[in-house]
Structure 1
Amino acid sequence: MKPAFKSTPALRITLVCNTAWAIYTYRQGLIRMLVGRGVDVTVLAPRDRTFELLTAMGCRCIELPVASKGTSPREDLRTLLSLYRLYRSIRPHVVFHYTIKPNIYGSVAAKLAGVQSVAVTTGLGYVFIQQSRAAQVAKKLYRFAFRFPREIWFLNRDDQAAFVEQNLLVHPERARLLHGEGVDLEQFTFTPLPERAEFKFVLIGRLLWDKGVAEYVEAARRLRERYPQARFQLLGPVGVDNPSAITREEVAAWEQEGIIEYLGEAHDVRPFIADADCVVLPSYREGVPRTLMEASAMGRPIVTTDVPGCREVVADGVNGLLCEVRNAASLAQKLAQMLDMSGAERRAMAERGRQKVAEEFDERVVVETYKDLVQKMTGVLL
């Protein structure tokens, strides 16, 4: 039976993540929709520079202790208790959890506090990349915690299949495929490829070893002498709170070697995508990478790995090229293939990329999915 919709909503919705940066970067469309409809939006995350930006968008931001790098039971219990107390205080109608620790401890805390929640698995990360004891513990915690959310959203089919096959879902009927979190097609407009002698590759994202940065650097070493016109750039934060983080000193060593240009980090990646000839992401595993959706939306050919998440965005030979994961030689071969293409071939890839994103990854469709579920869970018409 459909709920009787209330006419004067005073909804409280909370978004929880291990970084405020990810909420700001990936969920602006959702936040604009909620705030525009009078929803009280609270963001719980470790404090960073995007707190002010989220506040300017109309969110209330509260600092949350999350030790992303560690596996300390004491620190994780602190996160769980903090979330429980915050939920008891805020009394949100719906909580959306993103990333592993908010997904696990937030789902449990929401159940204890009597709050409805939704878990969004933005990418399975080290849990499904490594075969460590910590990864095995994380899977058991996932199985326990994921019995509580109203729905569990997966961004790609591989991640959903992995949870089902490994029996990590007590209620598999609650799983839902979101197929990425979408991209704003009006914000990321198609931009013609640069016409110049030099050729710029750029890797955009948090600088983590799991993103394939080492393979990218090694591929650059192999190609620089053969292709003196090629430039290899990195854009994104270093030294982030993640077990796979790369330090500024390591990046500086590559700069000193003369093979990498580090562009720092940016709130707005569009000028950097527009200035690139090809966007590269040799990641080990992803949800559905926003960087690749944005690059395709702006008409940039892509080179990425044939792994879950990345292959959702790139059809090999259509809007980009796929290489083998953790294989610098394979990556170098695909980058060379991109360099050897004619301008017309790359332009055709660019146009097909924009078309693919427009058909499959329009952010408006994702925002409607959120809106429909909130209405179903609360009975409030947004």
Structure 2
Amino acid sequence: MKKKIIRTSTVAMSLDYLLKGQLAFLNNHYEVVAVSGVDEHLETVASREGVRTESIVMQRAIFPFKDFISLWQLYWFFKKEKPLIVHSITPKAGLLSMMAGYLAGVPIRIHTFTGLVFPTKTGLLQRLLIFLDRVLCRCATHIYPEGQGVREDLIHYAITTKPLRVLANGNVNGIDSCFFSKEQVSLPEQETLKNTLGISETDFVFIFVGRLVGDKGINELVSAFKKIKSDNFKLGFHKLTDESQNSKSEDEEGDKLSVSVSLKLLLVGPLESELDPLLPDTLEEIRANTDIISVGFQKDVRPYLAISDCLAFPSYREGFPNVVLQAGAMGLPSIVTAINGSDEIISDGENGVIVPVKNTNALQEAMLKMMCDLDFYSELQSNARRLIVSRYEQKVVWEALLEEYKNISE
């Protein structure tokens, strides 16, 4: 009989997207049960991964009474199922699962920190979040930070004295480089999408993928984009069509053509105004600027990455951002901020550019350099996919996790 592992997350979307394919892989070696609140994502996990699922509602925010009910339900579920391992991946599920697992006597209680909230908070809220993460770690038997930056923060804030090990090269699930490949999106499909969105061949497209909230740096990104457009620079723009290539004069060096900037910003993700609203000026600019294209949540982001030239991801905090891996695998260089995860995936000047957090001017300068310096952009683009595939291929991450499960359960 297979030993049982229960994987938990606060919402089913995390199981669906963050652990895609991993649960099915682990289910070949263990009996895997996935636990989160119920919605269509949990149904997708059950059918796609072939694992049993259980619905236990957990709140993302702090609601003491509701959290106690979730804790009680997890406790009785663990007592009934008697798993060898409980493994959580999101903050609230981590706290409740580790406490319930401790009370229920689950032998191995694992939490993976995919990102930390408290470093960007202040005052009483920060102290409360630090306390809760310390409780989580006290109840867990094993703690795994998703990346080296998360590990350093856990040590810096004295969250736990338990050993902290990053599996493989980081990230909870790695990247399926066959799935995230520009070759998977046909040229006709790309052209159709461009036409639908009003993107021309000479447009340089910056793309952001993620929730449209303040913590993701959307205010700074929209502000930087607006400044570039309003300054109306005449730039050496390097995205050349065949027609413009043929029209170049003989004294040009063959790699640049001075044309008026043709620029688009593509925003792929839901607007979450209830949790972390954008500034009113930002919302108005997104609404009014015809060169900002907001398409909302998309189940498959590959077509949007395929028609773009550079990922702009100026987030304030991350654990190990999947979108930077995905964009790199699709051959895009990235502009990211100097935060956990992003600065591990991106090597400044090699496959992208790293700028300070909340710095609109630095972000604007990086965007301009991407657009105008052909040699620089070409070098980053040529390295983008190779560096991701060599370090974060999905099977490497899965095998490392499976080996860790076996080692700690012997």
TM-score range, shorter chain: 0.7 to 0.9
One-letter code aligned to 1:236: G
One-letter code aligned to 2:342: C
**Is residue 151–residue 176 contact of structure 1 (8 Å, CA) maintained in 2?**
no
* Aligned Cα root-mean-square deviation (Å): 2.5
> Offset of 1:336 from its aligned partner?
1.1
The one of 146, 159, 180 aligned to 1:188: 180
**Is residue 65–residue 78 contact of structure 1 (8 Å, CA) maintained in 2?**
no
The one of 216, 223, 229 aligned to 2:228: 223
Shift of the 184–201 alpha-carbon distance from structure 1 to 2, 3 Å rule, reads same
2:279 and 2:62 mapped to 1: Cα distance? Answer: 20
> Offset of 1:248 from its aligned partner?
12
**Is residue 219–residue 282 contact of structure 2 (8 Å, CA) maintained in 1?**
no
> Offset of 1:310 from its aligned partner?
0.9
1:118 and 1:248 mapped to 2: Cα distance? Answer: 41
The TM-score normalised by the length of structure 2 is: 0.82
**Is residue 338–residue 356 contact of structure 2 (8 Å, CA) maintained in 1?**
yes
1:364 and 1:269 mapped to 2: Cα distance? Answer: 21
The one of 37, 43, 52 aligned to 2:43: 52
> Offset of 1:109 from its aligned partner?
0.8
Summarize deviations over 1:101-144 as a string: whole Å, max 9, x none.
1122211111111112210000102x111113122112112212
**Is residue 13–residue 40 contact of structure 1 (8 Å, CA) maintained in 2?**
yes
1:124 aligns with 2:112: no
One-letter code aligned to 1:123: G
The one of 207, 215, 218 aligned to 1:210: 215
One-letter code aligned to 1:177: V
Query: For residue 297 of structure 1, what is the aligned residue in structure 2?
Result: 329
Identical amino acids, percent of aligned pairs:
24
**Is residue 200–residue 276 contact of structure 1 (8 Å, CA) maintained in 2?**
yes
One-letter code aligned to 1:161: E
Query: For residue 41 of structure 1, what is the aligned residue in structure 2?
Result: 32
The one of 1, 11, 18 aligned to 2:3: 11
The one of 313, 333, 336 aligned to 1:281: 313
> Offset of 1:247 from its aligned partner?
11
One-letter code aligned to 1:356: L
Query: For residue 98 of structure 2, what is the aligned residue in structure 1?
Result: 107
**Is residue 163–residue 169 contact of structure 1 (8 Å, CA) maintained in 2?**
yes
2:22 and 2:214 mapped to 1: Cα distance? Answer: 30
**Is residue 305–residue 330 contact of structure 2 (8 Å, CA) maintained in 1?**
yes
1:146 and 1:254 mapped to 2: Cα distance? Answer: 41
> Offset of 1:162 from its aligned partner?
1.8
Written as runs of structure 1 = structure 2, the 5 A alignment for 1:202-351 is: 202-225=207-230, 226=232, 228-239=261-272, 243-244=275-276, 251=283, 254-342=286-374, 345-351=376-382
**Is residue 237–residue 265 contact of structure 1 (8 Å, CA) maintained in 2?**
yes
1:132 and 1:259 mapped to 2: Cα distance? Answer: 39
Query: For residue 80 of structure 1, what is the aligned residue in structure 2?
Result: 71
> Offset of 1:145 from its aligned partner?
2.2
1:260 and 1:141 mapped to 2: Cα distance? Answer: 40
Determine helix, strand or coil for the equivalent of 1:266. coil
**Is residue 234–residue 260 contact of structure 1 (8 Å, CA) maintained in 2?**
yes
Query: For residue 358 of structure 1, what is the aligned residue in structure 2?
Result: 389
**Is residue 10–residue 40 contact of structure 1 (8 Å, CA) maintained in 2?**
yes
> Offset of 1:253 from its aligned partner?
6.1
**Is residue 19–residue 46 contact of structure 1 (8 Å, CA) maintained in 2?**
yes
One-letter code aligned to 2:271: V
> Offset of 1:62 from its aligned partner?
2.5
Tell me which moved more, 345-354 or 309-318. Answer: 345-354
> Offset of 1:44 from its aligned partner?
1.6
Summarize deviations over 1:1-22 as a string: whole Å, max 9, x none.
xxxxxxxx42322211122112
> Offset of 1:170 from its aligned partner?
3.6
Shift of the 269–74 alpha-carbon distance from structure 1 to 2, 3 Å rule, reads same
Shift of the 62–247 alpha-carbon distance from structure 1 to 2, 3 Å rule, reads farther
Query: For residue 3 of structure 1, what is the aligned residue in structure 2?
Result: none
1:323 and 1:150 mapped to 2: Cα distance? Answer: 37
One-letter code aligned to 1:213: I
One-letter code aligned to 1:230: L
Query: For residue 61 of structure 1, what is the aligned residue in structure 2?
Result: 53
Tell me which moved more, 280-289 or 152-161. Answer: 152-161
The one of 205, 225, 237 aligned to 1:200: 205
1:49 and 1:233 mapped to 2: Cα distance? Answer: 27
Determine helix, strand or coil for the equivalent of 2:139. coil
Larger radius of gyration: 2
Determine helix, strand or coil for the equivalent of 1:321. strand
Structure 1 residue runs of 4 or more that deviate by more than 6 Å after TM superposition:
192-195, 247-250
Determine helix, strand or coil for the equivalent of 1:300. coil
Summarize deviations over 1:132-188 as a string: whole Å, max 9, x none.
3122112112212212323211122222122222221142x2x11132232112221
Determine helix, strand or coil for the equivalent of 2:25. helix
2:397 and 2:280 mapped to 1: Cα distance? Answer: 35
Shift of the 246–97 alpha-carbon distance from structure 1 to 2, 3 Å rule, reads farther
1:285 and 1:347 mapped to 2: Cα distance? Answer: 28
1:369 aligns with 2:387: no
1:326 and 1:249 mapped to 2: Cα distance? Answer: 16
